[in-house]
Amino acid sequence: MAFLDEIQRARREKTPREKLGRMARWEARWGYAFIALWMVGFSLWYLIPMAASLVFSLFDFELTNLSAARFVGLGNWRRLLFEDPLVWQSLRVTFTFALISLPVGMVSAFFLAVLLNSKHLIAANLFRTLFYAPAMVPAVAGVLIWSGVLDPTTGWINRLIAFVFQVDAVGPNGIRWLADPVLVYVAYTLIGLWGIGNAILYNLASLQGVPTELYEAADIDGAGWWRKLTAITVPMVSPVIFYNLVLGVIALLQFFVTPYVLTGGSGFPQGQTYYYMIHFFKQAFGFLNMGYGATIAWFMFLIALGITVLLFGTAKYWVYYAAERR
Amino acid sequence: MAAPATRPSAAPVGTPASAPQRVDGMHARNAVVRAAITSLVLVILLLYLMPLGYSIATSLKSKEQVSDVNAPILPSAPERFEFEGQTYDVYRVPTDEGEQRWALITPGRNSSMFVDTENPDAGLFEWEGRWRTLTPAYRLAFQWSNYQRAYEFIDFIRLLGFTLMYAGITTIAATASAAIVAYGFARFKFPFRNVLFIVLISTIILPPQVTLVPTYAFFFQLGWVGTWLPLIVPQFFSNAYNVFLLRQYFMTIPTSMEEAARIDGAGPIRTFVSVILPQAVPALIAVSLFHFFFAWNDFFGPLIYLAGNADINPLAVGLFRFNGLYSSEPQLIQAASILTMIIPLLIFFFAQRFFMQGIVLTGDK
């Protein structure tokens, strides 16, 4: 959906190749004039730095002592791929977490949107605003709030579990959400649920665009709630699901604030929260290892590119673009 | 994706089309369904917002209450009772006439002397039982001073000043530059327009880290690390997400008024300023809000660029450092967290119509 579709559409559209007339030249000049700001910005903040980043990855240097920079060829890349176990550990952590957090977040956003779209819901607009509100809580504040609510002794989550299930969950021997190497992923996933506000709204907007005739026809055929959901709603909303998936994967590769605020980048417990971005931050800005930092960043870019291409490749098998058929 | 984006005003986020009721008997059933769905959503919402409730409650507790496992969930203080010039702890004592609130005057091992808080004139009396098994009585008490302490310790006014400065300047810069670029993409035909537009959009998905090291090195050479400049200056060159949103909106504005302006002799700049911008106010507000919240939230940028200069940190980084220093006082951490979110939340609630429509516009086909 949205800008991802726009890429597909723009690729199909042909720009006329014939020689431009006087009016067309005038128009083109003004067009370039308006986008000039972006073209300068793109060169300054994207094109040149990306190329420079690749060049940096061939050197070993520190910012404060540029004269000591040393050309190391593919040395940084060899180190990244074969000699730095933390790269693979942090990638394993990042992808393990993504495999838990992304489906949970996307399914929650979808079902919340279905509920918020229900014609039976009273005060729907108020609910929509309130469900979006946590997305407005600044990230650091949100993480600190969750770190309190997940506290084994004083947090409300353990108290609620103890109350509802009548088990002994509170106290020093209670559930230690942030200190258990497995539960910590559940905890981080819960924290991530405060960030699904946008995904809910995208799903909601898409649900409202599903033609009601489809449901009416399904009603006549005697389809139940679940059948309508899987056969009509999910395919019709699949472009949004695709969009949330692409942005979600890219965002999770850059996952940083939650682990950094909670652990300072230590990876506690047992390296389970040592995310790829934490590794990058430590190398580039902790040890000021700029050449190796650039290598880690470029590798992240290659991974992101690979995943994006892969996802776009699978899109035609499961993403339904109604507009394409017109 | 053939249809252009609908104008937000034409696509209300509310009111799904509901079929007219045909059968009267369905009303009762419908009422049950309504109640069921609304209650379900309400329960989910309460769970979803529970951490916020925890934060507010904790921010108003005393340090003693936070560390006491047996203390009530809401902010409270142990109830005290004054009797003959002295203050005593009050306990909830189960009796035959229900639970009573008695003040413990002289504790004993198997029996203790109490006085009834409701009826102190009756004087001391003895109660058989172990007073240590009794639950202390609490009354609601709010430690508003936590907010004052958090406000002072975190140096709130200074952090707020830098945050507002950063958010204010970059919001104006980002919105204005994005509007200019978006107009170019929306209304002018030029060679390579589609290629350039694809490149622009691709930068949305590009992980910013890949450009970060050289950019940092560049600003370091300029001597800008430790100042706000590396965070502010790039925002003057427009940003892909904002350009995309504004272009989608501009394309829904009918061209007739621009043509009329052109016939009247207005140039493209004049047309942009006096015809397009006034019609795009809702989208401009949405983009401004997005950027304002982004800047308010920005943590990584200030963390690395202002690393050596804690005096000019914004709230996000200040709160992070505060957490490191005061981790033994959760009530202050929670109070400080709430302080940092009040302004964005207030703006959101007042401007949510523009904001949510803007989100829908970027997500809309």
How far is Cα B173 from Cα B45, in angstroms, rounded to an integer?
37
Instruction: Give A289-310 pLDDT, tens digit per residue.
Output: 889 999 999 999 999 999 999 9
- Rg of chain A over CA atoms, in angstroms? 25
Interface contact flag, B316 A118, Cβ < 8 Å: no
Residue B17 has pLDDT above 50, yes or no: no
Does A276 map to a domain? yes
Specify whether the CB–CB gap between A147 and A231 falls below 8 A: no
Using alpha carbons, list the distances in angstroms from residue B112 to B85, B99, B102, B132.
20, 17, 11, 10
State the average pLDDT over residues A164-191. 91
Does A14 map to a domain? no
Residue B365 has pLDDT above 50, yes or no: no
- Kindly report the nearest CA distance between residue B285 and chain A, in angstroms: 16
- A275 and A191 share one domain: yes
- A37 and A89 share one domain: no
- A96 and A216 share one domain: yes
Interface contact flag, B334 A24, Cβ < 8 Å: no
**pLDDT class for A78, splitting at 50, 70, 90?**
very high
Query: Taking Cα atoms as reference points, which of B97, B91, B85 lies closest to residue B117?
Result: B91
- A105 and A186 share one domain: yes
Most B CBs within 10 Å, among A59, A60, A121, A136, to test the B interface: A136
Most B CBs within 10 Å, among A122, A144, A309, A326, to test the B interface: A144
Residue B172 has pLDDT above 70, yes or no: yes
299-358 in chain B: CB under 8 A from chain A: 299-300, 304, 307, 315-317, 319-320, 323-324, 330, 333-334, 337-338, 340-341, 344-345, 348-349, 352, 356
Chain A residues within an 8 Å CB radius of B290: none
Residue A166 has pLDDT above 70, yes or no: yes
Interface contact flag, B208 A10, Cβ < 8 Å: no
Interface contact flag, A300 B191, Cβ < 8 Å: no
**pLDDT class for B23, splitting at 50, 70, 90?**
low
From the list A156, A193, A246, which residue is nearest B54 (CB)?
A: A156
- CATH number, domain containing residue A112: 1.10.3720.10
Does A71 map to a domain? no
Interface contact flag, B52 A137, Cβ < 8 Å: yes
Position B83 scores a pLDDT of: 85
Using alpha carbons, list the distances in angstroms from residue B146 to B57, B247, B320.
12, 47, 18
**pLDDT class for B142, splitting at 50, 70, 90?**
very high
**pLDDT class for A1, splitting at 50, 70, 90?**
very low
- Kindly report the nearest CA distance between residue A175 and chain B, in angstroms: 15
Position B315 scores a pLDDT of: 95
ipTM of the complex: 0.88
| Contact status of A187 with chain B (Cβ, < 8 Å) | no
A93 or B121: whose pLDDT is higher? A93
Does A255 map to a domain? yes
CA B336 to the chain's CA centroid: 13
Burial of B252 (0-12, 13-18, 19+ CB in 10 A): middle
Position A76 scores a pLDDT of: 93
Query: Taking Cα atoms as reference points, which of A110, A20, A53, A14 lies closest to residue A299?
Result: A53
- A93 and A226 share one domain: yes
Indicate the average pLDDT of chain B: 87
Position A129 scores a pLDDT of: 93
- A308 and A196 share one domain: yes
φ/ψ of residue B280, rounded to 5: -105, 15
**pLDDT class for B360, splitting at 50, 70, 90?**
confident
Does A57 map to a domain? no
Instruction: Give B347-358 pLDDT, tens digit per residue.
Output: 999 988 888 777
From the list B49, B211, B315, which residue is nearest A46 (CB)?
A: B211
> Which chain B residue has its CA at the smallest distance from A124's CA?
B14
Q: Which residues contact A232 (CB under 8 A, 6 or more apart)?
A: A210, A214, A215, A218
- A36 and A152 share one domain: no
Residue A187 has pLDDT above 90, yes or no: yes
Chain A residues within an 8 Å CB radius of B189: 24, 27-28, 31
Between A and B, how many residue pairs show a Cβ–Cβ distance under 8 A?
Answer: 331
Using alpha carbons, list the distances in angstroms from residue B290 to A48, B295, B337, B355.
27, 9, 21, 8
State the average pLDDT over residues B206-223. 92
Position A40 scores a pLDDT of: 96
From the list B2, B52, B359, which residue is nearest A323 (CB)?
A: B2
Residue A144 has pLDDT above 70, yes or no: yes
Q: Which residues contact B330 (CB under 8 A, 6 or more apart)?
A: A148, A151, A154, B58, B66
From the list B184, B209, B216, which residue is nearest A34 (CB)?
A: B184
> What's the half-sphere exposure (Cβ side, CA atoms, 13 Å) at A68?
7
Does A131 map to a domain? yes
**pLDDT class for B71, splitting at 50, 70, 90?**
confident
Residue B171 has pLDDT above 80, yes or no: yes
Specify whether the CB–CB gap between A200 and A109 falls below 8 A: yes
- A160 and A246 share one domain: yes
Does A111 map to a domain? yes
| Contact status of A117 with chain B (Cβ, < 8 Å) | yes
**pLDDT class for A320, splitting at 50, 70, 90?**
confident
- A94 and A31 share one domain: no
Indicate the average pLDDT of chain A: 90
- A252 and A127 share one domain: yes
- A120 and A30 share one domain: no
Does A272 map to a domain? yes
Q: What pTM value is reported for the model?
A: 0.88
φ/ψ of residue B76, rounded to 5: -150, 170
Tally of domains in chain A: 2
Residue A276 has pLDDT above 90, yes or no: yes
**pLDDT class for A16, splitting at 50, 70, 90?**
low
Residue B12 has pLDDT above 50, yes or no: no
Instruction: Tell whether the torsion through CA atoms of B295, B300, B303 and B305 is positive or negative.
Output: negative
Position B130 scores a pLDDT of: 85
- Structural domain including A209 reads 84-325
Position B70 scores a pLDDT of: 78
Instruction: Give B81-111 pLDDT, tens digit per residue.
Output: 888 888 888 988 888 888 888 888 888 888 8
The two structure tokens encoding residue A67: 């004269």
Residue A189 has pLDDT above 80, yes or no: yes
Query: Taking Cα atoms as reference points, which of B31, B316, B276, B348 lies closest to residue B154?
Result: B316
Interface contact flag, B48 A148, Cβ < 8 Å: no
Instruction: Give A40-67 pLDDT, tens digit per residue.
Output: 999 999 999 999 999 999 998 887 777 7
From the list B187, B315, B337, which residue is nearest A145 (CB)?
A: B337
- A166 and A246 share one domain: yes
**pLDDT class for A167, splitting at 50, 70, 90?**
confident
